[in-house]
A and B are shown apart, each in its own frame.
Chain A
């Protein structure tokens, strides 16, 4: 008799067996959907204000970025100008740097040139290991 009575009574509790599954489902959902924002980029140290260093022309590699993305390379004192595409710059830098360890890369960008052309040149220089880089705007 007692057994029968127990069987007929409906369960008064919420089933807790699936609780863990629900919690893990939520956990996995948030783990998968979370996107961590990374801080990355190209570092550079700008010169201090009113800090101008005289550099001998023979230690400068002039890189002039034109509005169409073409880069004009001028080596130190030589008046010769060589137009190149930005992907060639790292090999040019390596070649010139092996000849002169005091070399400075002077990147002069045309004011109307896209920012990304300057970044392409800076990227090539940094990929080639250049540390002394000067960024300027081309004076027209």
Chain B
């Protein structure tokens, strides 16, 4: 009895303390939950074209404006259905608010007739946002070879 007690007291713990493990895990969990930004916009009916030369954009998320063009030619900016003539004033206002840093990304369906895209480009020129990006999915070389 006496011997066992003494021995136990002098032995250094060889285990990593696991009582704080839950706290660490929850801390990580809460960190990721807080730092996650969810997409604000509604999903739209658009299938994007594919391109081999697709580049990643370096602009910060807040300087990117999504302009959605659905298959039927409907234009959506910030979840608002926008007629073609209204695109230039709306984009121009957002462009000035962002200190000329706004980059419109045209998320257009692949089968939209080009005249819609042409009018949209004219609207963007009028708004002063000349740096635009056509949203595309990266095309794999294998897919091209099959075509």
Residues of A with Cβ closer than 8 Å to B?
16-17, 19-20, 22-24, 26-27, 30-31, 34, 37-49, 65, 87, 109-120, 122-123, 126-127, 135-137
Contacts of A136 in B (CB 8 A): 118
| Measured CA separation A113–B113 after assembly (Å) | 5
* A115 near B59: Cβ-Cβ < 8 Å: no
Cβ A123 vs Cβ B51 within 8 A: yes
Interface window among B3-11, B29-37, B79-87, B94-102: B29-37
CB <8 Å contact, A45 and B131: yes
Q: Contact between B110 and A114 (Cβ–Cβ < 8 Å)?
A: yes
Cα A85 to Cα B32 with chains together (Å): 48
A20-B22, A23-B26, A30-B29 given; A41·B115 CB < 8 A: no
A34-B32, A34-B36 provided; 18 other pairs, C-beta below 8 A? A17-B18, A23-B25, A30-B36, A37-B39, A40-B55, A40-B138, A42-B54, A43-B132, A45-B130, A48-B125, A65-B114, A87-B144, A87-B147, A115-B112, A115-B116, A119-B51, A123-B136, A126-B51
> 13 A–B contact pairs at CB < 8 A?
A26-B29, A40-B54, A40-B135, A45-B132, A48-B125, A49-B125, A109-B114, A112-B114, A113-B114, A115-B109, A115-B116, A116-B50, A120-B49
Provide the bound-state CA to CA distance between A117 and B125, in Å.
22
> Which residues from A are CB-within-8-Å of B54?
40-42
Asked if A111 meets B113 with Cβ closer than 8 Å, knowing A44-B133, A119-B136, the reply is yes
Secondary structure of the A side of the interface?
Answer: mixed
Q: Are A41 and B55 in contact (CB under 8 A)?
A: yes
Nearest chain B CB to A28's CB is how many angstroms away? 10
**B98-124 near A? 1/0 per residue, CB < 8 Å:** 000000011011111111111001001
User: Complex Cα distance A19/B33, Å?
Assistant: 18
Question: Which chain B residue shows the least CB distance to A46?
Answer: B130
Given the complex of chains A and B, what is the CA–CA distance between A109 and B134 in angstroms? 15
